[in-house]
Structure 1
Amino acid sequence: MVLDPHRWLELRRFRSLYEAGAMSLREIAKETGLNRRTVSKYLTGQAPVAPPKREPGTQPRQRVVDEVAPLIDAMLRSEILLKASVIHERLVQEYALAINYQRVKIYLQEARPRIAEELGITPGELAGLHRRFEVVPGAQAQVDWGDEGQVLAHVGIPKVYSFHMTLSYSRDPFCCFTTSQDLASFFDCHRRAFTHFGGAPMTIVYDRTKTVVRRHVAPGEAVPLHPEAVAFAGHYDFDIDVLAAYRPQGKGRVERQVLIVRDHVLAGRAFSSIEEMDAAFAAWVPLRRAKVHGTHGEIIGHRAVRDHMALRPLPKTPYVVAQRHLRHVGKDCLVAFDANLYSVPARKVRPRQLVEIRATKSQVTLHSAVPGASGETLLAAHPRAVGRGARIVDESHWDGLPTGAGRRTTTGDGPPPRRDQPLGPEAGSLQALLNRAAAASVEVGRRPLSVYDELTGTRPFTTNRVTKEPS
């Protein structure tokens, strides 16, 4: 059997796989649709190395991919960087075409540069390349969140998140787990990371998260930062670097770290608390630092020593970020925040009064908008509730409010029994029946409705209407 040039070129692509032992002759024959003897002939050197020439006047054999080539070209014209797996998936699902993925992939190697040239796209734009950057020790760290799902749902925690900070020079990692991504939790994780590394880097790279960026702006415009993020960065003396939109390559080192921690720390294990998850990461860190990193080629721990020594020292007092919100006081002296209720002293507030809530990761304080006689604004302080639907109440805050302990009821029309002379147990039900019968026999006065009309001065309603006859 003599192969046409297209089939020969296609078969030649499998030579390196066959020589390396990655694919057998049987697998290659199944993949190409050729006879196994033909595959063996051309891959073992029995056939000439040069491609066989087609006899004059004969047409090349039609390939399956040639039939859908116009459709693939149209997809590339709409999105030149469309992946081969996506194109193959759409051909199978949307057009019900039975075509081999490798044939689509091989066709794209020829078609993509051709379509790019038609569209006037340069090779650099086609490849979507980005410049790899390197930094000096202590110069940069990258931050990102990971969503770990319902790993603690069996203990009543609906969702767990992982916070990651990676030093860019050494790839030394930090990770901790939390149940919230709010402002207080976000920067509390920063403080824990700085303690773990022994200092703060000169710059931290973020994506456009709402805890750092106040709002999204058009490309090229200055990004407005969250005031608490600015204050936190000023206290620890680092710069905030916000990535451009749709540029995940800018913090690829920490994004890779999210996957590594998920595979090496969490996969295949069961936990019963956040503390156990943090302890599992702390136990894994020495193993990670003993590895030789595939990019910089050094042991991560040795390179991390230089990274840690170049970090900026931490201030003596930590900066505690607090969320600030205004809420109204309810008639029950409770204030709602984050789907939980917190009490305030009844003697210091009034219903519907506006109070300020300052919430950290572990504490919620409530403050009056107007300072008191002593200049203090603090009304109450509570530990922050975990989850939703909790009610955190200090019983002393309700001092002075009626408790309902003095309420009494009676079924008769006589004076209530004295507490020092209670009725006997044998007279309880009988006395109740007698009192009920006496109440039913009381005669009620009856008056005509006109009496009430006279008292109120209203005209009685009648159905007889008098009309005046015309004169």
Structure 2
Amino acid sequence: MNNFTYERLHNNLQYLKLNSIKELLDNYLEIAARDNKTTMEVLDYLFEQEKKHREAVAIERRMKSAVFPVKKTLEEFDFEFQKSIDKKAIEDLATLRFVHNSENVVFLGPPGVGKSHLAIALGIEVAKAGISVYFTNTGNLIEKLKIANREGMLEKKLRDLMKYKVLIIDEIGYLPFDEEGAHCLFQLISRRYEKSSTILTSNKSYGEWGEIFKDHVIAAAVLDRILHHSTTINIKGESYRLKERKKQGIKTGNICQ
């Protein structure tokens, strides 16, 4: 390869933004010459590395856009501790069939049992699969919707949230909604109904959602749209935080002895 060809190749790789190939090229051509690799093998390897790099960048971009509060994976979840959860049901959700079918997922249970962990973990699987996802706390979501409503921008805000194929709404039920907040959330759920997927977590049973919305009619309407195509995971186990406190207590006891 003469210098002119070499320079043109690098310039073209830079122009086409094939940055991974550009970085790997020199070293890999030496390896290819040493190992007698064919042209096809060289091209296959270099373009495969470029694809992997772009996929990794895209995943990182979607992860950043999702604004997960922490990184939690399914591999980290302790199914042995939370025996009330059917692991196969979670594995089925991880196939993301529910996303392709525009179905919802609801995690119910008391504080600390892993609802948010599972919701985030599924969200990460969504991001890895190349699907748009966004995480929000219920309180923050309601406040933003109410502000948009007062400014005459609710329609735009709803359209923005509809851009995400999966929306995770965490901690429904920790604080009740006022009438305006309940109305705004109803608009959002109605807009997403049968068009995209919503993952929700709540410390309240469905029978208590009327208290959250302070309106049993709106609560029933919201639940009707959420549950029509959905999977509910009811977690009845002990709090992980309580488990950790007990561990600390045992350690402390051992030290005192």
TM-score (structure 1 length as normaliser): 0.17
Considering only CA atoms, is the larger Rg found in Structure 1 or Structure 2? 1
Looking at both structures, which has the greater relative contact order when contacts are Cα pairs under 8 Å and sequence separation is at least 6?
Answer: 2
More helix by share: 2
